[in-house]
């Protein structure tokens, strides 16, 4: 980077703010970052308007960290704007990288969502049929809302992205490593997944794997898992076999099955498809009926197997 102070931006599209909190969770480091770099735009923590970014020359920002998926026209417009203004664009967190939790909305249609949220909902005032519109005339002027897209997109579906930092949210230690590499100019060549491992989570999980079969899958509330042995071998749909490591196995460490937030490991294109194979490998059924019984504890396969990666999956969205 040049001798001047680094100029960076952080932005959130369809996000919960957890990735911003992960940046703040780097504790004192965030102050060091602020000393090393001018943070020109960061809606959650720093004042700044879209106009300020529009006024910058193209490429004026050394880097932007974009968290959140692309759900509406505003998300996409700002993604294009920040892409133009940034030398390096980093997708921070699983929503930005794979669609994430907001991406689960791709299992239903836009119409179903609007119906459920604004029309067919017990908390809606009787007879109220107000549904958001992109343009609304009010007192002689017109108010504008960003268009709600029919589906959720990853950041890389709408602009070129230089790096992916997976995690929901990314572990603060990993975020710190990535930011430190950015400041020192030591990020790997563009296109890399950074702040994560190159192997599946099972490799870093400390649990004992015994190559054991289970009679059936269980819901998390049905058992108190043994703290030492593999959770999948106890019937919990652990996503570890098809999830990229790097988080430090934080969930298995507290007796929770991995939910898959780091997305697929290298070489795996479709996390859910690979999980289907991994989960099927631990039961013993020899007939379809036996398999149905063993999998009774796994009702929403799409939602569990693609909890964070539905828009990044081979089929991307429901075709209902």
Partner 1 sequence: MAFEPRIVGFLCNWCSYTGADLAGTSRIKYPPNVRVIRTMCSARIRPSFVLKALAEGADGVLICGCHPGDCHYSEGNYKTLRRQVLLKRLVAGYGIEPERVRLEWVSASEGQRFAEVVADMTERIRRLGPSRVEMLPSTRRAG
Sites of contact with ligand SF4 (CB under 6 A):
201-202, 205, 207, 209, 230-232, 238, 240-241, 243, 247, 249-252, 258-262
Closest C-alpha to 100, from 65, 64, 71, 63: 71
CB of residue 44 vs ligand SF4: minimum separation in angstroms? 21
- Cα 304 to its chain centre, rounded Å, is 14
CB closer to partner 1 out of 150 and 227: 150
CB of residue 13 vs ligand SF4: minimum separation in angstroms? 20
CB of residue 285 vs partner 1: minimum separation in angstroms? 6
CB of residue 149 vs partner 1: minimum separation in angstroms? 6
* Residues near partner 1, by CB under 8 A: 70, 73, 76, 107, 149-150, 153, 156-159, 269-270, 272-274, 276-277, 279-281, 283, 285-288, 291-292, 294-295, 298, 300-303, 305, 313-320
Neighbours of 73 (CB within 10 A): 15
CB closer to ligand SF4 out of 179 and 239: 239
Closest C-alpha to 104, from 112, 95, 96, 116: 95
CB closer to partner 1 out of 181 and 273: 273
Q: Which does 202 bind (CB under 5 to 8 A by kind): partner 1, ligand SF4, none?
A: ligand SF4
Q: Which does 258 bind (CB under 5 to 8 A by kind): ligand SF4, partner 1, none?
A: ligand SF4
Q: Which does 59 bind (CB under 5 to 8 A by kind): ligand SF4, partner 1, none?
A: none
CB closer to partner 1 out of 12 and 23: 12
Peptide linkage before 210 cis (omega within 30 of 0): no
- Residue 41 tokens, joined: 């735009």
Reduced to 3 states (helix: H, G, I; strand: E, B; else coil), residue 135 is strand
Q: Which does 316 bind (CB under 5 to 8 A by kind): partner 1, ligand SF4, none?
A: partner 1
- Cα 154 to its chain centre, rounded Å, is 9
Report how far residue 258's alpha carbon sits from residue 120's, in angstroms, rounded to the nearest whole number: 34
- Residue 220 tokens, joined: 């998390």
Closest C-alpha to 153, from 64, 80, 238: 80
- Residue 144 tokens, joined: 């504008």
- Residue 53 tokens, joined: 């970014």
């Amino acid at each position: 980077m040049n001798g001047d102070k680094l100029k960076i931006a952080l932005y959130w599209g369809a996000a919960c703010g957890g990735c911003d909190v992960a940046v703040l969770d780097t504790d004192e480091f965030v102050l060091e970052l602020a000393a090393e770099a001018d943070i020109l735009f960061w809606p959650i923590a720093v004042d700044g308007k879209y106009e300020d970014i529009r006024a910058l020359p193209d490429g004026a920002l050394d880097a932007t960290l974009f968290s959140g998926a692309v759900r509406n026209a505003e998300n996409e417009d700002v993604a294009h704007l920040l892409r133009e203004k940034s030398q390096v664009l980093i997708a921070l967190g699983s929503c930005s990288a794979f669609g994430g939790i907001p991406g689960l909305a791709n299992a239903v249609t836009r119409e179903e969502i609007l119906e459920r949220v604004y029309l067919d909902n017990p908390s809606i005032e009787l007879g109220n049929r107000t549904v958001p519109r992109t343009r609304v005339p009010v007192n002689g002027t017109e108010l504008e809302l960003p268009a709600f897209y029919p589906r959720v997109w990853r950041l890389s579906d709408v602009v070129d992205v230089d790096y992916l930092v997976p995690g929901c949210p990314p572990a603060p230690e990993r975020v710190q490593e990535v930011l430190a590499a950015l400041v020192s100019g030591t990020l790997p060549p563009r296109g890399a997944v950074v702040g994560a491992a190159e192997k599946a989570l099972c490799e870093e999980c400390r649990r004992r794997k015994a190559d054991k079969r289970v009679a059936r899958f269980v819901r998390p509330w049905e058992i108190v898992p043994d703290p030492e042995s593999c959770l999948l071998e106890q019937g919990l749909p652990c996503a570890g076999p098809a999830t990229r490591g790097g988080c430090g196995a934080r969930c298995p460490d507290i007796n929770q099955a991995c939910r898959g937030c780091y997305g697929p490991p290298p070489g795996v294109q479709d996390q859910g498809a690979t999980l289907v194979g991994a989960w099927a490998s631990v039961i013993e059924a020899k007939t379809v009926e036996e398999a149905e019984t063993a999998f009774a504890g796994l009702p929403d396969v799409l939602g569990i197997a693609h909890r964070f990666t539905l828009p990044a999956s081979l089929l991307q969205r429901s075709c209902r």
